Amino acid sequence: MVKKRYIFTAAILIISSTSAFSQKTQLFIARNSVGKLQAAIANKQDQKTQLSILGEGIKAAEAAEKDRETKKWPETWALKSYLSSYIAIVDPDQGNSDKYYDLAIKAIDTAKRFDKFEDNSGLIAASNYNINIKKQQKGKAAYQAKDFAAAFKYLKEVSDYFPKDTVLAINAALSAEGTKQEDEALQYFKRAKENGIRNPVVYQRMADIYKLKLDAEEALKMLQEGLVINPYNDMLNNDYINLLLDNEKYTEARLVIENTLKVNTRSKLLYYLYGYLNQKNINMGTAELAYNKALDIDRNYFDALYQLGLVYMNLSNDALATATKDVPTFTSYLNRAEIILAQAHKVNRKDKQTINLLIDIYTRKNRFDRAQELKAQLEEF
């Protein structure tokens, strides 16, 4: 009897030892698959080969995970998180990729909880890296699908993980804009700016957000900073001038336009704005020259035609306002106004202000038939 009991006990010990050895072997296989994967990547082996190695490693890690001893080892979970996270970024099957992304996140949390001495910090860091690459992929897909809330959720996390990456910061900011989260968008645009972004669109978007927040001074500051890095950029320059005009900073606007025109001599908009500013300051001669410069570039530029017509109308009225009533000058400017405004009317036949000015001119010239035709046009609108 004693002999039989001895043999039975030995059998239990052998079985137990074999089980523990088996699970440690599984852990060794999972660990070894990481090395094999690194070699495959270094040798630029194809995706199929990499996935085969990963499949072998995952199978071993999951076997170790089920054992009551090795399931408490941080290495088991660190290996599973790394292998799962790598499958998530290389598997072309989206469903499978998402499945392993979720498994990687759960595994990495367990690995961190068990790994009190950070023995597996390298694997955990690599897993985190892969998870964030997958988040970037998910964020990009969500943005393309116009699901800006989901895009921002993923991309802000990736940007926080890679805070020096300006492209990620911009993408997070654009996603935040898509959900009308202006403060969040500003935060990530600022991150891009602080890390040396030069793209003028970033400064333009930041200025637009400040304008929405009714903070004109900050909006002007953003455009100024953008122009320091991108001198005379048309987009930034035009926004800057328009914002100066909107806030009645006419002297500053005129100086910016004058300096820009020394460099950019083919901008009809700048000549038009320069003419408009001088017209407001009653510098009709300079305004006339500026509008004509704009029309030299585009003879059908409606805004310049209309404002030049107004200049001639004002000059013709001024000629009659003198004590001597300079009729020849009045007639000369009225004729110019007629020619310019008639051209403006051809360009935009539905502009009521142009039609009313022409009616006034034809009435003064006693051309009542033409004035009546234009009045009939007004009634059609």
Tell me which residue has tokens 């500026």.
Answer: 290
Give the pLDDT confidence score for residue 22 in this predicted structure: 58
Mark which of 144, 161, 182 sits at the end of a domain: 144
Per-residue pLDDT tens over the stretch 306-345: 999 999 999 999 999 988 899 999 999 999 999 999 999 9
Is 110 a member of any domain? yes
Is 329 a member of any domain? yes
Mark which of 108, 127, 144 sits at the end of a domain: 144
pLDDT at 4 exceeding the cut of 80: no
Residue 285 tokens read as 């001669």
Domain containing residue 276: CATH number:
1.25.40.10
**Phi/psi-derived region of residue 351, left when phi > 0, alpha when psi is between -120 and 50, beta in every other case:** beta
Domain that holds residue 319: 265-381
Is 4 a member of any domain? no
Is 106 a member of any domain? yes
pLDDT at 7 exceeding the cut of 50: no
Q: Please give the mean pLDDT across all residues of the chain.
A: 92
Q: What is the pTM of this model?
A: 0.82
Per-residue pLDDT tens over the stretch 81-90: 999 999 999 9
Q: Return the percent helix, strand and coil in the chain, to nearest 5.
A: 80, 0, 20
C-beta of residue 156 within 8 angstroms of C-beta of residue 183 = no
Mark which of 111, 129, 144 sits at the end of a domain: 144
Is 201 a member of any domain? no
For residue 378, which of 358, 306, 364 has the smallest C-alpha distance? 358
pLDDT at 52 exceeding the cut of 80: yes
C-beta of residue 196 within 8 angstroms of C-beta of residue 185 = no
Is 32 a member of any domain? yes
Per-residue pLDDT tens over the stretch 142-182: 999 999 999 999 999 999 999 999 999 999 999 999 999 99
Is 239 a member of any domain? no
User: Domains in the chain: how many in total?
Assistant: 2
Give the pLDDT confidence score for residue 23 in this predicted structure: 61
Per-residue pLDDT tens over the stretch 213-225: 999 999 999 999 9
Is 167 a member of any domain? no
Per-residue pLDDT tens over the stretch 93-152: 999 999 999 999 999 999 999 988 889 999 999 999 999 999 999 999 999 999 999 999
